[in-house]
């Protein structure tokens, strides 16, 4: 696959790994936060950490929109879905997120019409094909996905569709990063910036991180070489005592973002005064709702949502994992009460969640495994 | 939100639906290119980044090539250094 | 938002159930405890069946163990082979059954009829048996077109002929409109085990070679795209095929050095690798770059956010053979029409026991676990 395979080349990875190791100051430990859930997934899926020296650690951040969805919002969505004439549509990642009373999957087994879609346009198509039903799209995601939801609402309006609505749960990335920067426990040397969010918002919004907090940030792509290259750039900045925002993902991210996408978000949505984030608490101006002109497409206005706040179980440490304060295995309920089959928290459910990624991909002892794969080498191409 | 896949434009929209035909390794998908309207000039053969059925960005092939060039330069230069070091005579 | 905060009682209960669990200090300790827990007998926690129970991953195997095995307990069933091995006097027979609920019924490369015959033939064939007789049970929905039924049945006749089997008995039921998705088919089959030795996943040993017979994921992706819900199209066709002659070739060349063969259906090759690792207590180490997969399957998988390793095939098998016969078996497979792209994709190792490791094409390492639920596509 073009623009994919070239960025997965193991030879180049080995060279980059040596460069990174060469930039390490003896005795110093480095911790870089990769904000985006997509980065977490790539790192584990490709076993990227095998290319990093022991003293360079990648800390997983809160950039997973499924992970930061509070249980109460899941309950609200299920309440909507339970109406007889409603078809609820959602991305696959949402299906097993546990709410106060269970997940979409559970609600579906109990009779609610909940369907998995790959695009808000799929939901629109279902609305066209089922004029007797009310189709609701569970809209989640950061600024990457909000423009697509907004475009879909505009299309619904243009077509005069009366049975399509959106349950808006879009959140914005900067407040999440601010929550990290304001966290007293975290000692980070820099950030890997969210690549696809940046195609929309550009790189300027991160400048305050370098300027006011003295942490370099490199906007990183999602192939494993992108991430390694970004770590390398961060290491170079530290070695050269620079502190800047860099754009490693320049093949796709424009420095000024996508003006049309930002326009479309602004046309259809507005910032909520505050929103609850799982694990991070209430954050002001951090999430989007549909503007009143689009009330006819706003599920929150059309339906009576319970709006009850459901507290995270006391034992759940998703918040600390999301902030990078805890590694997944350090969570008290990791692997016991909380497993991918029996998730307590969102970090274990989303395929971008740090706990799910670690459990499903990284759950092995590195030293033992190195021996095993060396023994199995006759098959492996060097 | 992250899952973005590069795809090649094979047909531009022929009506106002903004739907273009894109191919990913021979698999064809309709993608809405409305977010690139006014931002980019699109032509058949261009590569775009697909996210939840929408094109978020056009892939800048020069930037991609340049990024790879930088990465590839690291390798041989380093290997050369290693080789020089190994064969150098400090005696 | 209304005032008031609720608690999620299911979560509090789940945490309380593990209240005794000690807070462990090191990563290795946590991983050890997880492995021990996974070896314990699973329980079904759900009150209702969900789609996850049918996906071929963890939920399916838990359901099988905790509900079916629990009730039907006997050693042959507990072996959980693709077919059961039963004896009648001196004769050994392989006996198997499968139900087919594919949607849509007709897809590029075949229809439910092909799956129904080939699937059961393959379960017999990978068990080392010569497939002989099949039964076919139909549950038809009121309103289902007879013309479609004829197409399915004609396909089954052709597939049976190609596989050298006869459909010797069957049954038909009709249920009201809406109670069956057009047509469900169940086939059972018997085959003759006339070769020495028994194939068993537990027989895999460190050093053995793991072979895949061809490109993975064709069937699953074809069917997903054929549903028409997505605006995605491809030229892919299902890989449904009878593997009896390929299996015979493997056994002719490898003899008793063939440990086990499994046909990769729902859950994909990843599920089989896990079954082998669990049954044998060994590790299965796979080289990602060696696994054959078509570019279109990779493309579709990337688009949908799924992993081809977990995607269903219907005409592919995984064979574990002793190192000394690996080269010969591979050559013989490649010479067979259904094995042209066969490849050695990995080795059995002794550590870490019960796990499947992947050497990624990027040069890193990760594990390949059993699926939880259906392959959920990512959006992020």
Question: How do residues C259-296 score in pLDDT, each as one tens digit?
Answer: 999 999 888 999 999 999 999 999 999 999 999 999 99
Residue of chain C whose alpha carbon sits nearest to that of A274: C1
Average pLDDT over chain A reads: 92
pLDDT of residue A202: 97
CA–CA gap between residue C45 and residue C274 (Å, rounded): 22
Tens digits of per-residue pLDDT, A290-320? 999 999 999 999 998 988 888 888 889 988 8
Q: How far apart are the first and last CA of chain A?
A: 22
For the purposes of burial, counting CB atoms within 10 Å of the CB of B41, is it exposed (0-12), middle (13-18) or buried (19 or more)?
exposed
> H-type helices in chain B, by residue range?
61-87
Are the beta carbons of A93 and C299 separated by less than 8 Å? no
* pTM for this model (two decimals): 0.91
Residue of chain B whose alpha carbon sits nearest to that of C295: B25
Q: Provide the 3-class DSSP secondary structure of residue C374.
A: coil
Q: Is residue B82 within 8 angstroms of chain A, CB to CB?
A: no
CB nearest B29 (choices: C298, C303, C378):
C303
C-alpha torsion angle, residues A228, A229, A232, A236 (rounded to 10):
-170
Are the beta carbons of B24 and C235 separated by less than 8 Å? no
C-alpha torsion angle, residues A21, A23, A27, A28 (rounded to 10):
-110
Helices C244-254 and C323-334 sit at what angle, rounded to 10 degrees? 140
ipTM score assigned to the predicted complex:
0.91
Q: Please, which residues bridge with residue B47 across strands?
A: B8
Judging contacts by C-beta atoms under 8 Å, the chain A residues touching residue C352 are 364-365, 368-369, 372
Helix/strand/coil percentages in chain A, nearest 5: 45, 20, 35
Q: Is residue A91 within 8 angstroms of chain B, CB to CB?
A: yes
CB nearest A224 (choices: C30, C37, C362):
C362
- In chain A the beta strands, taken as DSSP E runs, fall at 30-36, 56-63, 86-90, 114-116, 134-141, 164-170, 190-194, 217-220, 245-247, 269-271, 274-277, 281-284, 288-290, 309-311
Residue C304: phi, psi to the nearest 5? -90, -5
- Dihedral of CA C305/C308/C310/C315: which sign? positive
CA–CA gap between residue A22 and residue A104 (Å, rounded): 49
Judging contacts by C-beta atoms under 8 Å, the chain A residues touching residue B36 are 258, 260
Residue of chain A whose alpha carbon sits nearest to that of C380: A38
Rounded to an integer, the average pLDDT of C83-92 is 92
Helix (H) or strand (E) holding C186: strand C183-193
Are the beta carbons of B26 and C235 separated by less than 8 Å? yes
| Nearest chain A CA: its distance from B11 CA (Å) | 18
CB nearest B60 (choices: A91, A229, A250):
A250
Judging contacts by C-beta atoms under 8 Å, the chain C residues touching residue A38 are 378, 380
CA–CA gap between residue A123 and residue A126 (Å, rounded): 5
Are the beta carbons of B2 and C380 separated by less than 8 Å? yes
- Probe site for chain B from A13, A15, A93, A235 (most B CB atoms < 10 A): A15
Residue of chain A whose alpha carbon sits nearest to that of C59: A341
- pLDDT-derived band at A210 (thresholds 50, 70, 90) equals very high
Q: Provide the 3-class DSSP secondary structure of residue B74.
A: helix
Q: Which of the 8 DSSP states describes residue C291?
A: S
CB B34 within 8 A of CB B18: yes
Are the beta carbons of C231 and B50 separated by less than 8 Å? no
Least confident of A198-212, C222-236, C317-331, C356-370: C222-236
CA angle C29/C309/C297 to nearest 5° reads 150
Residue of chain A whose alpha carbon sits nearest to that of B55: A148
- pLDDT-derived band at C380 (thresholds 50, 70, 90) equals very low
Rounded to an integer, the average pLDDT of C176-189 is 93
Tens digits of per-residue pLDDT, C335-361? 999 999 999 999 999 988 999 999 999
Residue C90: Cβ within 10 Å count: 5
Complete edge-to-edge strand list for the sheet that includes strand A217-220: A56-63, A30-36, A190-194, A217-220, A245-247
In A242-261, the residues whose Cβ lies within 8 Å of chain C are none
Q: HSE (CB half, 13 Å, CA atoms) of A170?
A: 25
For the purposes of burial, counting CB atoms within 10 Å of the CB of A78, is it exposed (0-12), middle (13-18) or buried (19 or more)?
buried
Judging contacts by C-beta atoms under 8 Å, the chain B residues touching residue A122 are 53
The answer on pLDDT for C334 being more than 70 is: yes
Residue A130 is encoded by which pair of tokens?
């089922």
Residue C129 is encoded by which pair of tokens?
């048996």
Average pLDDT over chain C reads: 91
DSSP string, A260-324: HHHHHHHHHEEE-SEEEETTTEEEET-BEEE-GGGGGGBHHHHS-----EEEPPTT--HHHHHTT
Question: C-alpha distances in angstroms, A230 versus A61, A187, A225, A246?
Answer: 16, 19, 8, 9
Judging contacts by C-beta atoms under 8 Å, the chain A residues touching residue C358 are 47
Q: Provide the 3-class DSSP secondary structure of residue C58.
A: helix
Question: C-alpha distances in angstroms, A167 versus A76, A79, A120, A123, C130?
Answer: 9, 12, 11, 12, 56
CA angle C213/C216/C218 to nearest 5° reads 120
Chains that touch B (3 or more CB pairs under 8 A): A, C
Which residue carries 């005592």 as its tokens? A241
Least confident of B20-34, C2-16, C117-131, C151-165: C2-16
Are the beta carbons of C352 and A372 separated by less than 8 Å? yes
Q: Is residue B71 within 8 angstroms of chain C, CB to CB?
A: no
Q: Is residue C302 within 8 angstroms of chain B, CB to CB?
A: yes
| Nearest chain B CA: its distance from C377 CA (Å) | 10
Are the beta carbons of B2 and A3 separated by less than 8 Å? no
Rounded to an integer, the average pLDDT of C240-262 is 97
Are the beta carbons of C296 and B52 separated by less than 8 Å? no
CA angle C123/C125/C131 to nearest 5° reads 100
Q: How far apart are the first and last CA of chain B?
A: 58
Least confident of A235-249, A277-291, C7-21, C177-191: C7-21
Tell me if the bond preceding C106 is cis, omega within 30° of 0: no
Are the beta carbons of B2 and A38 separated by less than 8 Å? yes
Of A153, A251, A237, nearest to A198 (Cα)? A251
The answer on pLDDT for C376 being more than 70 is: no
CA–CA gap between residue C11 and residue C18 (Å, rounded): 11
- C134 contact partners, CB below 8 Å, separation of at least 6: C117, C120, C121, C160, C165, C166, C167, C168, C187, C188, C189
CB nearest B1 (choices: A4, A14, A142):
A142
| Nearest chain A CA: its distance from B43 CA (Å) | 17
Rounded to an integer, the average pLDDT of A208-230 is 96
Of C236, C137, C233, C229, nearest to C185 (Cα)? C137
Which residue carries 């040993």 as its tokens? C205
């Amino acid at each position: 696959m073009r623009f994919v395979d070239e960025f997965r080349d193991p030879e180049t990875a080995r060279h980059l790994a040596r460069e990174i190791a060469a930039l390490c100051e003896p005795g110093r430990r480095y911790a870089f936060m990769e904000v985006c859930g997509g980065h977490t997934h790539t790192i584990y899926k490709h076993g990227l950490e095998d290319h990093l020296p022991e003293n360079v650690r990648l800390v997983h951040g809160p950039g997973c929109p499924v992970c930061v969805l509070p249980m109460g919002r899941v309950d609200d969505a299920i309440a909507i879905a339970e109406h007889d004439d409603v078809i609820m549509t959602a991305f696959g990642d949402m299906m097993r997120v546990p709410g106060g009373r269970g997940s979409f999957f559970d609600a579906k087994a109990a009779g609610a019409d909940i369907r998995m879609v790959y695009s808000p346009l799929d939901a629109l198509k279902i609305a066209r094909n089922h004029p007797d039903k009310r189709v609701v799209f569970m809209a989640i995601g950061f600024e990457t996905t909000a423009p697509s939801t907004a475009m879909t609402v505009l299309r619904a309006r243009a077509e005069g569709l009366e049975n399509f609505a959106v349950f808006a749960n879009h959140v914005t990335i900067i407040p999440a990063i601010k929550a990290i920067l304001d966290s007293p426990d975290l000692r980070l040397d820099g950030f890997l910036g969210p690549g696809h969010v940046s195609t929309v918002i550009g790189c300027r919004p991160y400048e305050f991180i370098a300027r006011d907090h003295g942490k370099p940030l490199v906007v990183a792509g999602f192939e494993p070489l992108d991430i390694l290259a970004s770590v390398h750039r961060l290491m170079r900045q530290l070695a050269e005592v620079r502190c800047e925002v860099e754009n490693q993902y320049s093949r796709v991210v424009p420095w000024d973002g996508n003006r049309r996408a930002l326009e479309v978000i602004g046309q259809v949505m507005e910032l909520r005064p505050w929103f609850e984030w799982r694990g991070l608490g209430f954050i002001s101006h951090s999430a989007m709702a549909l503007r009143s002109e689009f009330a006819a497409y706003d599920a929150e206005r059309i339906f009576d949502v319970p709006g009850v706040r459901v507290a995270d179980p006391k034992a759940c440490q998703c918040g600390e994992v999301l902030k990078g304060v805890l590694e997944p295995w350090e969570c008290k309920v990791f692997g016991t009460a909380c497993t991918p089959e029996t998730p307590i928290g969102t970090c274990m459910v989303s395929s971008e969640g740090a706990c799910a990624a670690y459990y499903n991909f990284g759950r092995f002892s590195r030293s033992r495994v190195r021996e095993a794969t060396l023994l199995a080498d006759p098959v492996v191409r060097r | 939100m992250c899952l973005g896949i590069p795809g090649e434009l094979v047909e531009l929209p022929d009506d106002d639906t903004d739907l273009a035909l894109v191919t990913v390794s021979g698999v064809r998908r309709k993608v809405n290119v409305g977010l690139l309207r006014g931002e980019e000039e699109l032509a058949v053969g261009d590569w775009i980044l697909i996210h939840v059925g929408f094109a978020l960005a056009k892939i800048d092939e020069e930037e991609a090539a340049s990024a790879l060039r930088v990465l590839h330069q690291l390798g041989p230069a380093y290997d050369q250094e290693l080789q020089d070091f190994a064969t150098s005579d400090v005696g | 938002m209304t005032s008031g905060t609720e608690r999620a009682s299911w979560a509090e209960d789940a945490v309380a159930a593990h209240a005794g669990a000690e807070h462990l200090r090191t990563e290795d300790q946590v991983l050890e405890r997880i492995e021990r827990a996974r070896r314990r007998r699973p329980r079904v926690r759900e009150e209702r069946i969900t789609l996850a129970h049918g996906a071929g991953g963890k939920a399916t195997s838990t359901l099988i163990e905790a509900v079916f095995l629990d009730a039907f307990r006997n050693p042959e069933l507990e072996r959980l082979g693709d077919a059961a091995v039963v004896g009648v006097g001196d004769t050994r027979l392989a006996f198997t059954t499968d139900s087919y609920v594919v949607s849509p019924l007709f897809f590029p490369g075949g229809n439910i009829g092909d799956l129904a015959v080939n699937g059961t033939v393959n379960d017999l064939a990978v068990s080392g048996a010569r497939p002989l007789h099949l039964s076919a049970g139909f549950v038809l929905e009121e309103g289902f077109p007879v013309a479609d039924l004829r197409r399915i049945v004609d396909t089954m006749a052709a597939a049976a002929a190609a596989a050298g089997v006869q459909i010797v008995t069957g049954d038909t039921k009709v249920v009201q409109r809406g109670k069956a998705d057009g047509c469900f088919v169940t086939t059972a089959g018997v085959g003759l085990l006339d070769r020495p030795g028994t194939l068993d996943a537990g027989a895999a040993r460190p050093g053995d070679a793991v072979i895949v017979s061809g490109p993975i994921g064709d069937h699953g992706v074809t069917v997903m795209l054929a549903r028409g819900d997505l605006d995605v199209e491809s030229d892919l066709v299902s890989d449904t095929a009878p593997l009896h002659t390929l299996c015979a070739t493997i056994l002719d060349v490898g003899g008793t050095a063939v440990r086990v063969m499994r046909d990769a259906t729902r859950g994909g090759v990843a599920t089989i690798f896990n079954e082998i690792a669990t049954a044998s207590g060994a590790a299965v180490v796979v080289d990602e770059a060696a696994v054959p997969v078509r570019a279109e399957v990779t493309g579709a998988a990337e688009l949908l956010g799924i992993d081809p390793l977990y995607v269903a095939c219907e005409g592919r098998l995984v064979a574990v053979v002793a190192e000394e016969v690996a080269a010969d078996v591979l050559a013989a497979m490649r010479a067979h029409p259904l094995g042209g792209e066969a490849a050695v994709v990995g080795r059995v190792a002794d550590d870490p026991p019960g796990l499947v490791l992947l050497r990624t094409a990027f040069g890193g390492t990760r594990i390949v676990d059993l699926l939880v639920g259906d392959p959920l596509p990512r959006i992020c």
